[in-house]
Amino acid sequence: MADASYFDSISRLDGQLFIGGAFRPGEGSRLPVENPATGETIGHIAAATGAEVDAAVAAARAAFRIWSRELPRTRANALHRLGDLIAADALNMARIMTAEQGKPVNEAKGEILKLAEACHFYAEEATRVHGEIVPNDQPGFQSLVVREPIGVVGAITPWNYPAELVGWKLCASLAAACTIVIKPAEITPYTALAIAEKCADAGIPAGVVNVLTGKGSQVGQALVEHPHVDKIAFTGSSAVGLHIQQSCPQVKRLSLELGGNCPLVVTASADVAAAVKGAARRSFRNCGQICIAINRIYVHRSVYDEFVAQLGAAADALSVRNGLENAAADLGAMASGEPLAKTKEHLADALEKGARLIAGGKAPEGAEYAGGHFFRPTVVADCDHSMKVMTEETFGPLIGVAPFDDLDEAVRLANDTPYGLASYVYARDLVEIQTLSQELDYGNVAINNVDAGIMNAPYGGRKQSGVGYEHGREGLLEYFNFKHVRLHHGVGN
Ligand code: NAD
């Protein structure tokens, strides 16, 4: 049985909003939050009212005047303290996340520790923000290009990575001297509120960080429409991202990290065992509820049967358990009934159109699974692009596999999607590697590995997968305006 102290944290955060440096009970209606492994209600969030949205934005705006005048080193120190506090409480924060999201505790703890790493990375970046002096077209002039923080950021985040996807926006905002109002997904609010607690403990000044809970269509939309929110940093589905872009009533900076439909290409020269290991990890981790999950795999016909058989065995070997009680399980519950229903729909569609079921295909059996949203990791082979599994984002533990005969065909199939987030390649032939890294129309290409994002490199999508970047220096630049100061000093006229 898992240590239950996380439950005290959830009770403490129940129905709370974090505005102007303090927790306060929300005045709006309550929405239940479910443990997806059991179906039990673990608490309720407050749906922030219009007045509470205004209060949070006003607090962030007031704090911006102070925070943006602090020395970079002061902001860096605050971020380092935040990272240390998060790392020190990683297990408890992980259990909070598992209770609301379903991923096994060890995996959740890994995510919390990566959030701590993001705090330290951006703390260091905060002290290295510099401008440029650019050449002029006349003597006696000097042009400075300086970077100034955008102002108040509205961060709207999904439920699949409840810590990191809040954290990247939070850390970049703080490093850039912006202030932030965070609206986490309604089904995973407690992780964000627990992060707010750490911000208070780290001594981050009141109003710099605010957290509002509630429905996206109300609270999220209110941030999008708010005249005093200067930038929206959104991660979520392409449909909601497009809606935000279309419904934003003022000119406002937007960064949109959206959906994916990520291919893996396994060529004739690939190390098949390594490709299978990578595919099993990136298809099924977090039950496939990852924007950069491998959705579909194209395998050269010469190694196709071998690959399919090995991937089926790898999927069958993965454990699916209640992630709170089995911290080391490979998969926990899916986060809600919605992605589970879509997974089943995509599976039924593929089988109906002639795909071959290789592994999984159903929920695990037994009393442990009765109340939750569980599904076995599932592999279907002999797929084609008439099937949803190959053309839509499933966001579940289902992977479609298809053979190809030459590299041009693999490139054409891999790029046959409106999305452009991440793609994966397993190959040992240098020409194949170079061709695929050039031709794949994606923001990220991972070759002979499946970890497409690292903290020090820009991470973002193209096409319907979004605009803007997180991570790296490019991610930080998203939080700045540039200002050109053209000075006539007259020297050398
Ligand atoms: P979602 O788009 O349904 O919701 C995301 C957030 O937007 C939630 O906080 C929600 O409350 C809010 N929201 C909903 N309607 C809104 C509106 N009208 N105005 C403002 N906010 C609104 O996405 P989800 O189901 O929570 O997450 C899954 C999706 O997120 C997948 O498509 C996945 O690919 C994507 N995702 C992308 C990345 C990336 O980096 N590109 C990372 C993780 C997840």
CA–centroid distance, 260 to ligand 1, in Å, is: 12
Contact 243/214 with Cβ under 8 angstroms?
no
CA 285 – CA 356 distance, rounded (Å)? 22
| Ligand 1 atom closest to 238 (CA) | 32
Q: What is the 3-state secondary structure (H, E, C) of 74-142?
A: HHHHHHHHHHHHHHHCHHHHHHHHHHHHCCCHHHHHHHHHHHHHHHHHHHHHHCCCCCEEECCCCCCEE
pLDDT in tens, 80-99: 999 999 999 999 999 999 99
Report whether residue 458 contacts ligand 1, using a CB cutoff of 6 Å. no
CA–centroid distance, 235 to ligand 1, in Å, is: 5
pLDDT in tens, 126-148: 999 999 999 999 999 999 999 99
Sign of CA dihedral 206, 209, 214, 218: positive
CA 124 – CA 175 distance, rounded (Å)? 8
The CATH number fitting domain 5-258+465-481, selected from 3.40.50.1100, 3.10.450.350, 3.40.50.300, 3.40.605.10: 3.40.605.10
pLDDT in tens, 196-237: 999 999 999 999 999 999 999 999 999 999 999 999 999 999
Residue 118's pLDDT band (cuts 50, 70, 90): very high
Report whether residue 156 contacts ligand 1, using a CB cutoff of 6 Å. yes
Tally of CB atoms within 10 A around 188: 27
CA–centroid distance, 335 to ligand 1, in Å, is: 13
Report whether residue 229 contacts ligand 1, using a CB cutoff of 6 Å. no
Q: What is the 3-state secondary structure (H, E, C) of 298-333?
A: EEEHHHHHHHHHHHHHHHHCCCECCCCCCCCCCECC
Tally of CB atoms within 10 A around 62: 16
Segment holding 67, helix H or strand E: helix 50-67
Contact 180/173 with Cβ under 8 angstroms?
yes
The CATH number fitting domain 262-454, selected from 3.40.309.10, 3.40.50.300, 3.40.1010.10, 2.40.50.150: 3.40.309.10
| Ligand 1 atom closest to 158 (CA) | 26
Report whether residue 459 contacts ligand 1, using a CB cutoff of 6 Å. no
Report whether residue 112 contacts ligand 1, using a CB cutoff of 6 Å. no
CA–centroid distance, 142 to ligand 1, in Å, is: 44
Contacts of 476 (CB under 8 A, 6+ apart): 122, 125, 129, 172, 175, 176
Domain ranges of the chain: 5-258+465-481, 262-454
Return the active site residues.
Answer: 257, 291
> How many Å from the N-terminal Cα to the C-terminal Cα in the chain?
79
